[in-house]
Amino acid sequence: MVRRSGRLLKSLLVPALVVAAWDLLARSGAVSPLVLPSPAQVVRRWAAYASPLSPYDPSAESYLAWLASGELWLDSAGSLYRVLGGFLLGTALALPLGLLMGAKGSVNDLLNPVLQVVRPIPPIAFIPLAILWFGLGNPPAFFLIALGAFFPVLVNTIAGVRNVDQIYLRAARNLGAGELTVFRRVMLPGAMPYILAGLRIGIGIAFIVVIVAEMTAVNRGLGYRILEAREYFWSDKIIAGMVSIGLIGLAIDWVMGRVNARLLRWHRGIEG
């Protein structure tokens, strides 16, 4: 318990120093409040952003539903919906393809040239095509997010399958295991650290892409709200939205880290 408390204090030290320096700079008057609002101003805007839009009516809705009716919660829910939808779509395509390309050299030789041409193109460059193909709304956002998550999962899955120790494969085959059993019981578990690393990177990229997609193709979400705040010079709301994105991203990464630690308890690289 003492060790965890010490780690928590250390992790909060740098953010506290950054906020203190930010507050001193804002109070000094060297920068206009329109350009750099104070932390207190951002907190007030964040509270207004999170507040319910209408008075509480017990006969119409529950208290929790009323609390969740603020713009911040609705925008966060919309962004998370797009992130998870696009990430699952990209993973569903990348994972089996990566396993197949990693296990079968002929498939890798056939598909790798095309994938290597497309991989360096950032998902943002596909925005005009995504709007032309899918119109506005969620479909282009799902497409862009799936594209952003696809390649990290694919590349890490291929690398994981190819880095399985050949000793384990030969031992399984010598003991009479068939190809399907070798794949399911040796190759897949051996590649799991790489796969989970790819999933963690992929969902991080998905969250980056969703913000850009919401600035161009949808009319609700954290990215859309930041763009709207820029039009009205609400720098405090821009920063409040950015902090919200950071906190949600931190929560997602923490969950992925816990999942990795639990699934890889057998792996020597994970400490108990």
Span 15-30, mean pLDDT?
88
What's the confidence (pLDDT) of residue 268? 57
Mean confidence (pLDDT) of the chain: 85
The rounded distance, in Å, linking the Cα atoms of 253 and 206 is: 12
Q: What is the mean pLDDT of residues 15-31?
A: 88
Is the pLDDT at 250 greater than 60? The verdict is: yes
Q: pLDDT tens for residues 57-115?
A: 676 667 677 667 778 888 888 899 999 999 999 999 999 999 889 888 888 889 989 99
DSSP annotation of 233 reads T
The CATH number assigned to the domain with range 72-263 reads 1.10.3720.10
Please name the residue that has the structure tokens 């690398």.
Answer: 159
pLDDT of 272 above 50? no
Q: What is the pTM of this model?
A: 0.82
Predicted pLDDT of residue 146: 94
pLDDT at 163 exceeding the cut of 80: yes
Q: Which residues contact 148 (CB under 8 A, 6 or more apart)?
A: 86, 90, 123, 202, 205, 206, 208, 209
How confident is the model at residue 143, as a pLDDT?
A: 93
- 3-state SS track over the chain: CHHHHHHHHHHHHHHHHHHHHHHHHHHHCCCCCCCCCCHHHHHHHHHHHHCCCCCCCCCCCCHHHHHCCCHHHHHHHHHHHHHHHHHHHHHHHHHHHHHHHHHCHHHHHHHHHHHHHHCCCCHHHHHHHHHHHHCCCHHHHHHHHHHHHHHHHHHHHHHHHHCCCHHHHHHHHHCCCCHHHHHHHHHHHHHHHHHHHHHHHHHHHHHHHHHHHHCCCCCCCHHHHHHHHHHCCCHHHHHHHHHHHHHHHHHHHHHHHHHHHHHCCCCCCCCC
pLDDT number for residue 59: 67
Q: Distance between CA atoms of 214 and 138, rounded to whole angstroms?
A: 9
pLDDT in tens, 175-204: 777 777 877 778 888 888 899 989 989 998
